[in-house]
Amino acid sequence: MILVTGGAGFIGSNFVMDWLAQSDEPVLNLDKLTYAGNLQNLASLKDNPQHVFVQGDIGDKTLVADLLVQYQPRAIINFAAESHVDRSISGPDDFIQTNIVGTFNLLEVTRGWWQQLDDDKKAGFRFLHVSTDEVYGSLALDAPAFTEEHPYEPNSPYSASKAASDHLVRAYQHTYGLPTLTTNCSNNYGPYHFPEKLIPLMIVNALAGKPLPVYGDGMQIRDWLYVKDHCSAIRRVLEAGRVGETYNVGGWNEKANIDIVKLICQHLDKLQPRSDGQSYAAQITFVKDRPGHDRRYAIDARKIERELGWKPEETFETGIVKTISWYLDNDAWVDNVQTGAYREWLASNYGSR
């Protein structure tokens, strides 16, 4: 079986569902269920014996050691993290704890268990660390996209904590020979995306008649990838990636934030027009910028295409329509994630902007 950490979050839950739809190999899913973890994402697996869920922390060495001995996974895919940049600015502690200390504990326990496996199992084992393009920092408008050789220049507590975890993974491969793989992916979007991030927040706020808060001038650029394409890239890297290598994953899809927000409004105008006949674009509101806001990310995904034959299947135009339709069809999911804690976050992040 494989051990997936953070499998109740946005990308992790999509990964687990896609994996079990395509494979008979069971998944052990270890997730702490922070505000971002949601078992409703996995409701379709409720009666599936191939999915074993354990609530727990990747930093809990005793728990992880017991799980490794009991389940003997052939691979670990580490999605577990604090993932929201704005939250890392207002409260970095959890990011240091989970993304750095948690990943370190997970690596350390994995190393101890892996070292006593027999030679075949040792060689076949993989530790795949899911990371981000944000570790590379911000790009000038005319600079070439990030390759795997780009220096690490993280600018937020979130990206610095992910960069630290990437370095630990690298060190465990280099020093102890642990068979690791790292993926650095661009911005994902799609079903089950928590509505604190740009795309789901805009869809949910638009439908609720609330302002659509665009940071600064809205000209920051992100490179968007449909979440299921990220999942297929991870499966491919796990299957055929070269040990010790890192692979950039992206959608060749650079877009300015303001253009994304306008596009969402245009689609909503067609799919669920406002009762007053106005466009949802009337709700766009420019607000104070994110401190240290990275201007542009762009991924050069030629290595994973060249070496592993992976390419994204979805275009932004098809992916965004699927995503908006999913949110329109799943208002119960949206209502359920909008808990008290989430409302408090919205008040503290946007109240002063």
Q: Using CB under 6 A as the criterion, what x/- string covers residues 32-71 for binding ligand NAD?
A: xxx-xx-------------------xxx------------
CA separation for the pair 240, 121 (Å, rounded) = 16
- Residue where the block lists tokens 């992976």: 310
**Would you count residue 6 as binding ligand NAD (CB under 6 A)?**
yes
Q: Are strands 180-185 and 126-132 parallel, antiparallel or unpaired?
A: parallel
Catalytic residue among 31, 57, 86, 133: 133
222 binds, among ligand DAU, ligand NAD, none (CB under 5 to 8 A by kind): ligand DAU
Nearer to ligand NAD, 184 or 283 (CB): 184
Write the interaction track for ligand NAD spanning residues 148-187; mark x where CB under 6 A is met and - where it is not.
--------------x----------------------x-x
Spatial distance between the Cα atoms of 303 and 268, rounded to a whole number of angstroms: 36
Q: Which residues, 111 to 130, sit near ligand NAD by CB under 6 A?
A: 130
Binding to ligand DAU by residue 257, rule CB under 6 A? yes
Q: Quick check: 316 binds ligand DAU (CB under 6 A)?
A: no
What does the buried/exposed string (b/e) look like for 100-116 if buried means 16 or more CB atoms within 10 Å of the residue's CB?
Answer: bbbbbbbbbbbeebbee
Annotate 144-177 with b (16+ C-beta within 10 A) or e (fewer): ebbebebeeebbbbbbbbbbbbbebbeebbeeee
- Which region among 44-52, 100-108, 126-134, 144-152 touches ligand DAU (by CB under 6 A)? 126-134
What is d(CA 151, CA 264) in angstroms, rounded to the nearest whole number? 34
| Segment contacting ligand NAD by CB under 6 A, of 28-36, 146-154, 166-174, 333-341 | 28-36
Give the CA distances from residue 114 to residues 118, 173, 178, 287, 314, in Å, rounded to whole numbers and listed in that order. 9, 12, 8, 49, 37
User: What track of x and - describes contact with ligand DAU for positions 139 through 178 (by CB under 6 A)?
Assistant: ----------------------------------------
Binding piece for ligand DAU, criterion CB under 6 A, among 91-99, 107-115, 170-178, 197-205: 197-205
Which residue stretch of 6-14, 107-115, 148-156, 338-346 sits at the interface with ligand NAD (rule: CB under 6 A)? 6-14
Buried b (16+ CB within 10 A) or exposed e, 194-232: bbbbbbbbbbbbbbeeeebbbbeebebbbbbbbbbbbbb
Interacting positions 14-53 with ligand DAU (CB under 6 A): none
CA distance 253 to 196: 21
Q: Is the CB of residue 124 less than 8 Å from the CB of residue 74?
A: yes
For residue 313, indicate whether it is catalytic: no
Question: Which is catalytic among the residues 86, 134, 223, 314?
Answer: 134
Q: Which does 102 bind (CB under 5 to 8 A by kind): ligand NAD, ligand DAU, none?
A: ligand NAD
Residue 297 binds which of ligand DAU, ligand NAD, none (CB < 5-8 A, kind-dependent): ligand DAU
Sequence-ordered strand ranges (E) for the chain = 2-5, 27-31, 51-55, 75-78, 126-132, 180-185, 187-189, 212-215, 221-226, 246-249, 254-256, 284-287
DSSP state of 59: T
Q: Min. distance of Cβ 48 from ligand DAU in angstroms?
A: 27
Residues contributing to the site for ligand NAD (CB under 6 A)? 5-6, 8-12, 31-34, 36-37, 57-59, 79-83, 98, 102, 130, 132, 162, 185, 187-188, 194
Residues contributing to the site for ligand DAU (CB under 6 A)? 83-85, 132-134, 186-187, 197-198, 201, 213-215, 220, 222, 257, 290, 297
